[in-house]
Amino acid sequence: MRKHPGNHFYAVAVLGLLGIVSACGSEGAAGQELPEFASLDDAYQAVDAVLGCAADVGDPPTKHPLSGGPTGESVLCTKTVEVLWFDSQEAYDNVYALYAAAAGNPGSVYLVQGQNWFVADVAEVAIGVEDPQRNTKLEDLAENLGAKYAVKR
């Protein structure tokens, strides 16, 4: 297994979006039950099998939030695509809200949502990333994993 850990959450947090709350259910379109993974490693492997994650993305996996309570973990697939996995719906909802709220000015955030995980492509809103090009096919990822694809503008 190739594992390419990293931390991109800092770029979204810099946008000053802490404290924004959003609800995110566990069902996709038309009542479809969304897929669930047992760990961050399982979610990463599934994403890597479809997207072919990059080998040179940096930092080790990160816990969210950093201050305790219900947590999630994340790892980068590319410099602007992050795989996130959560041990509670509360942690999922809080971190998902940060990513969804990052959209708008200057661009969109592209998401693939599972029951206890999601993948975020923040190429259009990334801060401090050299050459942030959106070149992943998250629509294909959602279809392959039976997940929900969403674009937050």
Provide the pLDDT for residue 56: 80
Residue 41: what are its φ and ψ, rounded to 5°? -60, -40
| pLDDT at residue 131 in the model | 62
Closest CA to 58 of 77, 86, 83, 45: 77
Interatomic CA distance for residues 110 and 113, integer angstroms: 10
Residue 125's pLDDT is: 86
The structure tokens 């309570």 sit at 69
Over the stretch 10-21, which tens digit does the pLDDT of each residue have? Answer: 334 323 222 222
Domain boundaries, the chain: 9-152
* Three-class HEC string of the chain: CCCCCCCCHHHHHHCCCCCCCCCCCCECHHHCECCCCCCHHHHHHHHHHHHCCCCCCCCCCEEECCCCCCCEEEEECCCCEEEEEECCHHHHHHHHHHHHHCCCCCCCEEEEECCCEEEEECCCCCCCCCCCCCCCCHHHHHHHHCCEEEEEC
pLDDT value of residue 136:
76
Residue 88 has pLDDT above 50, yes or no: yes
